[in-house]
Structure 1
Amino acid sequence: MTDVGNIIVWDSRAQAEFDLRIYGARLEGYSVKQICRELGIAEQEVNDAITRASDRISPKTRELLVQLDSARFDEYSITLHPRAKAGDIEAVRAMLAIMERRAKLFGLDAPTKSDFLMRREAISEEPTTSTDRFVAALQALQDQRKAEQQFDAAFEEVAGNDAT
């Protein structure tokens, strides 16, 4: 890296080291936003560095990285699953995000909508992904359950007052 006035010129080795540092942070589980904050760079720069670094990775290393991500998903799922089954909305969201990411990683989801429909949905205020729709439905059920409990409590209170 060479500093010429206020312009930084990267040599190929410095660029590769920078890209691999960002890629390594991503592999360790840091989010793109966390890396941006830590390094004080734009999100696009992080994404570009990850793309450049991944272009340099051998097919065998890619396979190992997929296995690493899969093992990480398994670990997170084991931790979150009991909470999600108990109705913890945040755990359900996290589990669905893991499931979506796993499906994307392994190419399990087939495209279901045209590009036009996806753009139209992106503009709308309604939930667009299956995770968003599922969480919205779960939230509606939870709200309904809460309303029913309030109704039952109010009914018992009224019924108790009528009995006296």
Structure 2
Amino acid sequence: MGRPDKAARAAIAQRRADAIDLRLAGVDWLTVARKLAADPAVNSDRVAYPQGYGIDRYNKNLEPPTVDQLINAACKDVRLALKERTTEVDEKADELRAVENLRLDRLFFVAYRQAVKDGDLPAIDRALRIMERRARMNGLDKPSKTEIVTPADSGSDLTTATLDELEALIGITEEAARGSE
């Protein structure tokens, strides 16, 4: 199977956006999956959703995907869509950071020239503030120690857990979510 054409990619992007919208509206995974299924026999609206879940099987007249396969497809769609959105936001932030660095360069040049030429103490302070801002914005400073503190009467009990314990807990949570659907 090759790369989908432009129309198919657009339909997949729309399906992913629809999946996120449905989840944000509080719709459970199975309902999301059925609403976005390609096979009208499975689709909750009884229509073939364009590029819907199980489209390959539907096009070959095979049995529709199982409930678990539908849920997994919906989960994967939302995860990929969120990852793409995060990547887009990160790229835009990188572009903005580059512009801000150029602005800081211009400001620093003026303050630095005055600080070095005249020994002007306010200009020295300004140059240091610009340097601090640049270091914060670009993550050059080491982070200060972060501590999680809960009020004594909150009932929160923070404990340490191994990676295996966390993965087991996540697995239990996913099973419970499937059981409630």
**Greater Rg over alpha carbons, structure:** 2
Q: TM-score when scaled to structure 1?
A: 0.33
More helix by share: 1
Q: TM-score when scaled to structure 2?
A: 0.30
Higher relative contact order (CA 8 A, sep 6+): 2
